Amino acid sequence: MLKVEHVTKYYDDFLAVDDLSFEVKPGEIFGLLGVNGAGKTTTFRMIMGLIDANSGSITLDGKKIGYDVTDKIGFLTEERSLLTKMTVKEQCLFYGNLKGMDNETILARLDELLKRFEITEYKDKKIKELSKGNQQKIQFITAILNNPKLLILDEPFSGLDPFNVELFKKIIIEMSEKGSMIIFSSHRMEHVELFCKKLVILVKGKTVISGYLSDIKEKYRKKNILIKGDVDIDKIKQIDGVISIEKRATELEVKIKDMSVADDVFKVVSKGKNISKFEIVEPSLNEIFISKVGETYEK
């Protein structure tokens, strides 16, 4: 289990991460979210042991992360961390050897992954000759080459088309099912929502939301009501607790401050005609993220 406990990191006087705590158990996919400069990369670097925290502790299976355990970790950085003059094969051999793997195992695993990503023809091509998307695939391959126990993915879908996003998702889920701990960061909340059971949202180094996604959504009082049919929009707007009404292609989305408002909305909707849908739904993570990040920035 990865345990991050009360970790704080300063760069001179700048507070990059403030009292951050979370746990990731085997088989869990954990989301670390935040806008640029929130402290995500600093947190990843601290987990990888690249930089030291000013206070707090980070342990993997109860031990401090050092160079004796990095062979069990896979790391995909936000920016391309590939030596572009190398060929795909050379690059994988290089990073694989640094993970303590032997050449035979690396090449066997590489063949398997290249086949999986349908890019076997690039094995002897130089990385600089590959497209951005294919470079990202190679970077992902180098991160999972050693079947890591802990996999850190910083913006893994950057530069990928929807088809390859699906492929990445599939592999990430497979790895989680096999027991890998996965920490994941993305600006795309729909990706996080699909994967992560647990998450932390950072704003300027501070934790603004932390916990299981279901609990977070449960605690978030605001709800959305989806309505299909002819209703009196003005009357709904006048209801106390209705935040906003948004017209979509075939339906209305009414945002309410909490569940108590839903009854009043239902009363108005029931007087309408051709009503085929009245559904109370949880807000999306994106909505919660924008709401929380906005609140924190305003403070």
Partner 1 sequence: MKSKLNYLIGISLKRKIKSKWFVIVNIILAIAIVGIINIDSIINFFGGDFSQKQSIYVIDNTNEAYDILNTQLGSIDTLLESDESSFELKKYDSSEEDAKKLIEENKKNIVVVLYSDEENIMSAKIISQNTMDMINYQTLVTAINNTKISLAIQKSNIPLEEINKIYSNTDIKREILNEDASSDDENMQMIMTTVFPIIILPFFMLSIFLVQMIGAEVNDEKTTRGMEIIISNVSPKTHFFAKVFAGNFFVLIQGLLLILFAALGFFIRYITGGNSIVNGLGAEVGNIVNSILSSGIGDKLIYIIPLTLLLMIMTFVGYSLLAGVLASMTTNTEDFQHVQTPIMIISLVGYYLATMSGVFKGAIFIKILSYVPFISAILSPSLLVLGEIGIVDIIISLVIMFITNVLFVKYGLKIYKAGILNYSSKGLWKKMLKAMKSK
Question: Which residues lie near partner 1 (CB under 8 A)?
Answer: 45, 48-51, 67, 70-71, 73, 75, 77, 79-86, 94-95, 97-100, 142
Half-sphere exposure of 21 (CA within 13 A, CB side): 5
**What is the C-alpha radius of gyration for the chain, rounded to an integer number of angstroms?**
23
Between 98 and 243, name the residue whose CB sits nearer to partner 1: 98
* Whole-angstrom distance, CA of residue 137 vs CA of residue 160: 8
- Residue 100 beta carbon to partner 1: minimum distance, rounded to whole angstroms: 8
Between 145 and 252, name the residue whose CB sits nearer to partner 1: 145
- Residue 82 beta carbon to partner 1: minimum distance, rounded to whole angstroms: 6
- Residue 81 beta carbon to partner 1: minimum distance, rounded to whole angstroms: 4
CB of 178 closer than 8 Å to CB of 8: no
Would you state the structure tokens that stand for residue 275, as one six-digit string? 């009503």
End-to-end CA distance of the chain: 35
Between 95 and 117, name the residue whose CB sits nearer to partner 1: 95
Residue 57's nearest CA partner among 121, 105, 8, 118 is 8
- Residue 11 beta carbon to partner 1: minimum distance, rounded to whole angstroms: 11
- Residue 10 beta carbon to partner 1: minimum distance, rounded to whole angstroms: 13
Between 45 and 204, name the residue whose CB sits nearer to partner 1: 45
* Whole-angstrom distance, CA of residue 292 vs CA of residue 290: 6
Between 133 and 241, name the residue whose CB sits nearer to partner 1: 133
Would you state the structure tokens that stand for residue 266, as one six-digit string? 């239902």
